[in-house]
């Protein structure tokens, strides 16, 4: 996703002395101008200005002090391995509910819900660089080892490890704001680095029986070891 690349760039700007052109290349931008435009559109500052401001903040402010104004709570958790039953979705991300409908129907028809432990969505591509029709994602159910996974479902393993977990409460339409906080604010200030694994969302309740303002979603961002 674009915000993943942008926030990886933000972390590199603050935590490394690499040239801005080198950071642009490592984040997949063909030249410094396109990187600068994308970065300023995301953060409201040029990469050079962001680096200067970030260096001053790191020098004078502790992480605890900087994160007190965050809207949604973020904590680092050591999460276990999760085994998932999944249905692939290729196409615009807002259309992934169709894949969730499919996997829910399969779990019901096969009597597998006693093995289920929650719903997860995984998103692999950056919609800023990948055409909407080719975006890859997975609608998933966390399942135990006894669950028999057969086509059209497939198995996917989420590896164990440290994750930054943001707990968002509210309608799904507000999730972009939560992503902006964890990638645009928390990550650059945390001193941690993104892992190469995809981030994922876990729904802790269901819109079928929960008012939109009370929906709870955890955004789980894999981190490299400290």
Query: For 150-189, what is each residue's pLDDT tens digit?
Result: 999 999 999 999 999 999 998 887 888 888 889 888 988 8
pLDDT tops 50 at residue 105? yes
Domain boundaries defined on the chain: 2-60, 74-222
pLDDT tops 70 at residue 144? yes
Q: How far apart are CA 1 and CA 143, in angstroms?
A: 26
CB 184 within 8 A of CB 6: yes
CB 66 within 8 A of CB 14: no
Neighbours of 119 (CB within 10 A): 20
- Written out in words, the top-level CATH class of the domain with range 2-60 is mainly alpha
Three-state SS for 200? Answer: strand
Please state the rounded mean pLDDT for residues 83-88: 98
Q: Dig out the tokens for 18 from the structure.
A: 């690499």
Displacement of CA 139 from its chain's centroid (Å): 14
Same topology, domains 2-60 and 74-222? Answer is no
Q: How sure is the predictor about 213, in pLDDT bands with cuts at 50, 70 and 90?
A: confident
- Over the stretch 22-76, which tens digit does the pLDDT of each residue have? 888 877 788 888 888 887 777 677 888 777 765 434 333 333 333 445 689 999 9
Question: How would you list the strands of the sheet with 136-143, edge to edge?
Answer: 74-79, 161-169, 216-222, 200-203, 116-123, 136-143, 82-90, 154-158
Q: How far apart are CA 43 and CA 38, in angstroms?
A: 9
pLDDT tops 90 at residue 126? no
Would you state the CATH architecture of domain 74-222?
Answer: Alpha-Beta Barrel (3.20)
Average per-residue pLDDT for the chain: 84
Q: How far apart are CA 33 and CA 46, in angstroms?
A: 10
């Amino acid at each position: 996703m674009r915000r993943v690349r942008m926030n990886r760039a933000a972390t590199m700007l603050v935590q490394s002395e690499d040239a801005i052109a080198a950071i642009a290349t490592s984040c997949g931008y063909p030249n410094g101008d396109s990187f600068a435009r994308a970065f300023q559109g995301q953060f409201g500052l040029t990469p050079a200005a962001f680096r200067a401001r970030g260096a001053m903040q790191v020098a004078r402010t502790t992480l605890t002090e900087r994160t007190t104004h965050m809207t949604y709570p973020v904590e680092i958790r050591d999460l276990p391995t999760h085994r998932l039953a999944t249905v692939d979705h290729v196409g615009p991300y807002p259309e992934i509910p169709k894949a969730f409908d499919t996997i829910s129907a399969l779990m019901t028809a096969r009597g597998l819900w006693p093995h289920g432990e929650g719903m997860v969505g995984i998103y692999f591509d950056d919609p800023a660089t990948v055409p909407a029709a080719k975006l890859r994602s997975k609608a998933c159910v966390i399942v135990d080892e006894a669950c028999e996974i057969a086509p059209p479902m497939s198995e996917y393993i989420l590896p164990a490890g440290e994750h930054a977990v943001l707990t968002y409460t509210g309608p799904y339409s507000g999730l972009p704001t939560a992503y902006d906080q964890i990638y645009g604010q928390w990550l650059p200030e945390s001193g941690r680095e993104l892992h190469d694994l995809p981030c994922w969302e876990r729904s802790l309740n269901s819109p079928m029986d929960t008012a939109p303002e009370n929906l709870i979603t955890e955004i789980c961002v894999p981190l490299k070891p400290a």
